[in-house]
A and B are shown apart, each in its own frame.
Chain A
Amino acid sequence: MNMSNEERFHELAHKALARAAEPTEQAELQALIAENPQLKEEIEQMDAETSVARELLPLIEDLQDPRRDMPQPPMRRLQRAIQEVFGPRAESPGELRELLARLENWAERQIGHERHRLVELISDFRSSLSAPRGEHVIGLRVVQACAAPKASRLREEAEVLAMGEGEEERKKREAQFEARLRSLEARIRQAEQITHECREEMQGLIEAFASDREARAERKQARSNQPSKPHD
């Protein structure tokens, strides 16, 4: 089949599949198929794929190009729905346990006193899983965030340590490590407190904004329901 025949076949085939082909075009398509019997199979396959495409295209459209005339998201309803799904606690204990296990794996790859302190710290966190909301949970994220970029530096320092330094120097280094871990712990607690306060404040702001919008909508509705005064 030459190029123009091929183009013509595709043009006619899509017309036929869209049920938009004229009788003469139908006849032309049949003639092309008679000349090239393999086209029959091709058009049958296109028919099945077109049916699938017709089903999928609206979904693709909703996903890629949602309508622009939609109302604002009903935040309070959505927040209530999410609360019903996840319950009153913001963080999932399963997620935290998974995170702790990953931290523990990382800590076990560390060496010396640093490893001991990290394992101890993780153990403290593990026992705090049942603590009230906001107490230790955020700290884990901070530990994770802090640990990743600093891990290699800490490991390098520890390796330098191991290479032939004196007993006194080693003790001094360990004391420094300990002081830094204590500082890290203190900063975690501080960050935890700040994050908790920010979260509460943000929640309050979102609720206040939603109430304000609802009140405005109600006032507007009430105004539009009022009968207009007759002219004198």
Chain B
Amino acid sequence: MLKPDIRSLRAGDRFMWDCAFHWLWPIAWSAAQRRLAACAPADIEDVAVGAIREAAEKVQAGKVESFEELRALTSVISGRRALDHIRRMQAERRASGATESIEGREELPSAAPGPLERVNAQDLARLLMSLTAKLPNHQQRLLKAYYLYGLKQAELAETFGVPIGTVGVTLSRALESLRAELQKQPQLMKEFLEALR
């Protein structure tokens, strides 16, 4: 699929936007699905379409510098909109006096915005771009496997064919790479750490 040029998208070129949908849709849908699968699967499409529309508004306003940035921004916006959607559903239920819980409530967000929601969406998108581009592939895979999928270090050592001592050291190096990227955006780093406190 043709990778659109940001200038054509900014100009509202319809054909280029049709091409862009094939790149942006999987990202927007996955980000929405991650948050809504358990409690509002029927609303995933609405949230993903809304996210792409919001991202397009930023493109039109000239705030997006590259197509890669647009992809990252779409992911950030879709995730945020999904969380907002859940909060709206919760508020509506409270307002209507409903007492039954919605499914998957253990994964529901708190009423206050999380650390990722408190930082500037575009700064976050740029950080994601640089992390995906600069964090070595094996470090990314190891980080995801350990901190996202919850695999044990012994399992990682077996999967990746490395000694167990190397797993811990590689995880630490991955965190150092993350720190190095964050240090390039000191304001974002400060906001992140404040939000995490």
* A residues adjacent to B (C-beta < 8 A): 4, 6-15, 18, 20, 45-46, 48-64, 66-67, 70-71, 73-75, 77-79, 81-82, 84-87, 89-92, 95-96, 199, 202-203, 206
Contact = CB atoms under 8 A, between A and B. Distances in A.
Contacts of A60: 128, 131-132, 140, 144
A91 B13 contact: yes
Contact of A95 (B7, B31, B171): B7
Q: Is the interface of B mostly helix, strand, loop or mixed?
A: helix
Given A7-B165, A52-B182, A59-B75, A82 B14 contact: yes
A193 to B, nearest CB: 17
Contacts of A11: 153, 164-165, 167-168
Interface of B: 7, 10-15, 17-18, 21-22, 25-27, 29-31, 33-34, 45, 49-50, 52-53, 56-57, 60, 71-72, 75-76, 78-79, 114-116, 124, 127-128, 131-132, 140, 143-144, 146-148, 150, 152-153, 164-169, 171-172, 174-175, 178-179, 182, 192-193, 196
B168 to A, nearest CB: 3
A74 B45 contact: yes
B165 A4 contact: yes
Contacts of A14: 146, 153, 167-168, 171-172
B60 A81 contact: no
Nearest to B76: A59
Given A56-B131, A66-B26, A81 B56 contact: yes
A51 B178 CA distance: 11
Contacts of B179: 45, 49
Nearest to B117: A55
21 contacts: A8-B165, A9-B168, A10-B165, A10-B169, A12-B168, A56-B116, A57-B147, A58-B79, A59-B75, A60-B144, A62-B31, A63-B71, A63-B75, A64-B140, A70-B29, A78-B17, A81-B49, A86-B60, A90-B13, A90-B14, A206-B18
Given A71-B45, A73-B22, A202-B15, A7 B53 contact: no
A55 B116 contact: yes
A131 to B, nearest CB: 16
B196 A90 contact: no
Contacts of A4: 165
Contact of A84 (B11, B53, B192): B53
A91 B26 CA distance: 26
B196 A48 contact: yes
